[in-house]
Amino acid sequence: MRSIAAIERRIEEIQAKPTANAAGELVGLGEEVLEHWICARGETPTHAKKEGFRLLALHRQGAKGDPSFNACRETCRELIYHYNLVTLEPAHSDSVKRIQLAALVAKHLVLFVGGKMEVAGLGEFCCAAKPVRKNEAVAS
Amino acid sequence: MVDVTERAKQLREVAYYPGCALEGSGNGYDVSTRAIAHELGLKLRDVKDWNCCGAMEVKNIDPKIQTYLSSRVLSQAVNKTHNNVVMAPCNGCYHNLKKAEYDLAYDENSREVVEMLSTKAGHQTYEAGQAETIHALDWIKETIGVDGLRGLTKGKLAGLRIANYYGCMYVRPRHIFPEKDKGPGSESTSKPHFMDDLLAAAGGVNVEFPLKTACCGGAHTLSDSDMSTKLVLNILQAAEASGAEVIATECPTCHSGLEMHQIRAEKRFGKKTNVRILYFTQLLGLALGISPRKLGIHTNISHSLDFIREKGLT
């Protein structure tokens, strides 16, 4: 499994030079990000599919018991939506733009999950500054 | 079944809960909300002696205290302001009042805590169902409506390409918004569209924006500023890639985050974006012919006045 930073770098490469066949790779990168989250919770990432996509099944697994993870539910769905747009109409004049948008969506997923992993388990609904305050308290 | 006309009539005068952000960093949102209310003949009655809704800070330390604080706002609206519809333009306040309503309806322990603290504080205990909380988007949509706005604005925003950014708290978690996802006419929690509908009625062109409910990193802004900047930069870049000239906002936390991190992204990462950031109430105000100054646009952090002039919106 690539590191979160390596996934982010690869997405940025696709964003800079979008090619019509990158849609599948972006969905795969999204899956890798969610695998990180699930493994960090001590679970084994599912290989099941939801609505035909593993990404959505992984999101569901990642959100189980952690409703705040639903904050990236629509991001996952947008990634699939753009994948569908590109693969169903590969010759469309907007294909490159669609890949670019898909890359930005995938990047948001990486940033959100990466950020959440830093503060995992703290905060009730949304992210919180709690871990930082705790560290400060320990340091002082 | 509520008669639509009766409902519109009921919402023409609401209890207004601006919340702390609209008195500070989100002042332009407050000013523009009041300005369009005046222009549209809608009455806002400020909730008497309102308090903080509990925001994120209190909620992370003790969610029950947040429930109590929000319940006191609702109690003040019902018992002191004598209006049982509370309009909260801030997503954080709106979310917290809705959450308090849900907690009080379904959680016995929350009811006990609220009863105890309300008695101690010497005010009437709020009980679930006594008031209804609505967002500024619901308020405009249900009083003036899309057709009404179309008639009043005469396509003033024609050609303006807008990315509508709702942020996360307007729709999540779904269970505290029972009125949403009820089919045609209702708001959607997965693909919200009320802001899109209102601005399109004023002539705006809504671009297909894939991050309309994505996290802006607001809660990270002090603990991990770089993370917030990256999340915001990504939203700004996505808006530009979608073809937008303006991002319309309806949350003061998201709005100030977008503005501040737009500047920070350039300074910290050398990434400049040019998309403008305006509250949807400011855009609607411009469409109604209200001056930028009366809409508090000059109080926004980012500079939009030249752009507004260029677009012929003054």
Among the partner-chain residues A111, A118, A124, the one whose CB lies closest to the CB of B59 is: A124
CA–CA distances in Å: residue A38 to residues A75, A116, B149, B172, B281: 17, 12, 47, 22, 41
ipTM: 0.88
Q: Assess contact for B215 and B168: CB atoms under 8 A.
A: yes
Cα–Cα distance between A128 and A46 in angstroms, integer?
28
Local confidence pLDDT in tens for the 140 residues of chain A: 889 999 999 999 999 999 878 999 999 999 999 999 999 888 999 999 999 999 999 999 999 998 889 889 999 999 999 999 999 999 999 999 999 999 999 999 999 998 888 765 433 334 444 444 455 455 54
Task: Report chain A residues whose CB lies below 8 A from the CB of B60.
Answer: 122-124, 128, 130
**What are the structural domain ranges in chain B?**
4-134, 145-310
Each residue's pLDDT tens digit, B17-70: 999 999 999 999 999 999 999 999 999 999 999 999 998 777 777 889 999 999
Output the CA torsion A7→A10→A12→A15 (10° steps).
Answer: -120
Chain B closest-CA separation from residue A126 CA (Å): 7
Chain B closest-CA separation from residue A41 CA (Å): 21
State the pLDDT at residue B56. Answer: 72
Cα–Cα distance between B218 and A115 in angstroms, integer?
12
Cα–Cα distance between B254 and B264 in angstroms, integer?
15
Cβ separation A71–B238 shorter than 8 A: no
Number of helices (H), then strands (E), in chain A = 6, 0
A131 touches chain B (CB under 8 A): yes
B226 pLDDT more than 90: no
Q: Across all residues in chain B, what is the average pLDDT?
A: 94
What would the CATH number be for the domain defined by B145-310? 3.40.50.11810
Cβ separation A130–B231 shorter than 8 A: no
Mean pLDDT of B164-172: 94
Q: Assess contact for B190 and A77: CB atoms under 8 A.
A: yes
- Whole-model pTM above 0.80? yes
Among the partner-chain residues B219, B235, B237, the one whose CB lies closest to the CB of A126 is: B219
Mean pLDDT of B191-210: 97
Question: Check: CATH 1.20.120 for A4-139?
Answer: yes
State the pLDDT at residue A131. Answer: 45
State the pLDDT at residue B244. Answer: 98
Say which CATH topology domain B4-134 has. Glutathione S-transferase Yfyf (Class Pi); Chain A, domain 2 (1.20.1050)
Percent of the residues in chain B that have a pLDDT greater than 70, as a whole number: 98
Among the partner-chain residues A104, A119, A128, the one whose CB lies closest to the CB of B237 is: A104
